[in-house]
Structure 1
C-alpha cells in the first residue's frame, strides 16, 4: 500500500478563518510585487509565524521589516520567486477533495513541527487531519525540521527522520 506524508500542508481553505488567511497570504504576495524579495519574505515570515487565527490585530500590525530577518531592503527588480509570486496561489489556494482523500487506498499521514504549534501550517495540518478522521503527527523542530545547517534555518534532521521512520513502520 502506498503512503503519503503531508508535512504542514498550507491549504488555507480548511481553516475556520480561511478568508482572513487568504487575505494574509495575499499580503505577502502584494508586498513582494510592490517592493521585492526582502519585503515579500518579511511579510511571509510574519504571516507564517503568526499565532492563531488571523484577526484585526494581524492586519493592523505594521509591515514586517526585512532587516529584522536579515533580508535585503532594496528591491532587485526580480519577481520570479515561486513562494512569493502569484505562482504560490496554486498551493495555498488549493481546495482539497476531502471525500476523495478519505476514500483513497493510499494511507495518509498529516504532520507538523512542534515549533510550528499555533501557526497557520499547524492549524491547516490539524484541520485537514480532523476532516480525514486522523490525528496529526507531531514532528521535531519546525516547518523545515528535516533540514541541516546548510539550509540557514537548521532543523533536527536526525530526530525528524526517526519520527518519520516510526510513522512509516507503524503503517507499513
Structure 2
C-alpha cells in the first residue's frame, strides 16, 4: 500500500492543500500528478489508490475543499496552471526531480494546457481527459451564451437554479442551436438540488470556472511544437457531450489520435451517479497510455 502524507502551501491569494502517495516499493515509473477543476483530491481517491506502483500527487484547487481562496482572490486557467507548478515544486523533496506525468480531468484538462506551454521541461506525458474547450467548438458562441446565463443565474438566484442549468447543459449530446434557449428553466428539485437561495456565492464551478474557462483559447502553435507528449482523451460513454467534443477537437487541431478511456466523464470513479464506471479498468488503461 502507498504511504499518504498531506501538506499545505501558501501561494498568492490562497493556501493549497495537496497529498503525496509514495509506493511501498519504489519502481521505475515516473510520478503522476492527478488533478481536476473544480474536483479536488477526494474525487480521485479511487484512481490514486489503484496507481500504487508509483508516486501520486493530488491536490485541492484554490477555493475547493481543503484549499482556501482569499476574499479578493481570483481564479483563471493561468492561475490554476501556476498552482500546478507551485505544488509540484513543493512536492519535489518527496517525488524527486525530473519530468512528471499528468492525468488531468475536465477543467483541469484545460488548465494543464497552459502549464504545458509555460513549463514543458517539468512534464513527460500529459493525458487531457475530456477538456471542455469552448474555443474549439463550432457552437462556441452559443455555448458561451449558455454558460454566461448560468453565471448570471447563480449571482441572481443562487446555487440550485444555476446548478440545474449546468446539469441541463452538460446533458446535451449535440451542438447547441437557438432552440436550446427557448426551453423553460429546469426545476432544481428535479436534480435533487435546493430551491431556496442560501445567499452564498463562493462555488468554484459556478463563480470561478464558468467565468474563466469559456474564454480560454489554448496556444495551439505552442502545443504542436512542445516536447511534452500530450494525449487527448475522452470517455467511451456520452458521445456528443461538450467535454467529449472538446477532447476530440483538441486532438483534431493538433493532429493527434484521441484515446478512449472506459466510463463516462468521471470514469475513474464509481459512485451513485455513475454506478457502472470501473476505476480498475480506467487505471489499467491509464497505465498503458503512460507507458508511451
Identify whether the pair has TM-score above 0.5, normalized to the shorter chain.
Answer: yes
Structure 1, unaligned runs of 5 or more:
none
8 Å contact from structure 2 (residues 148, 210) kept in 1: no
Q: Across the two proteins, how many residue pairs are aligned to each other?
A: 168
CA distance in 2, matches of 1:117, 1:131: 19
TM-score (norm 1): 0.91
Higher relative contact order (CA 8 A, sep 6+): 1
CA distance in 2, matches of 1:124, 1:164: 19
Q: Which residue number in structure 2 is paired with residue 125 of structure 1?
A: 247
2:264 maps to 1:153: no
Q: Which residue number in structure 1 is paired with residue 225 of structure 2?
A: 103
1:116 counterpart SS class: coil
Q: Which residue number in structure 2 is paired with residue 45 of structure 1?
A: 167
Match of 2:134 among 3, 7, 12: 12
CA distance in 2, matches of 1:4, 1:46: 30
Structure 2, unaligned runs of 5 or more:
1-98, 100-123
Cα displacement (A) at 1:36 = 1.0
TM-score (norm 2): 0.55
Match of 2:288 among 145, 158, 166: 166
8 Å contact from structure 1 (residues 146, 160) kept in 2: yes
Cα displacement (A) at 1:88 = 3.3
* Aligned 1:70-85 pairs, distance under 5 A: 70-85=192-207
**Range that drifts further, 154-163 or 61-70:** 154-163
Larger strand proportion, structure 1 or 2?
2
Match of 1:58 among 180, 194, 213: 180
CA distance in 2, matches of 1:140, 1:130: 21
Alpha-carbon RMSD across the aligned residues, in angstroms, is: 1.5
2:230 counterpart SS class: strand
Q: Which residue number in structure 1 is paired with residue 12 of structure 2?
A: none
CA distance in 1, matches of 2:188, 2:210: 20
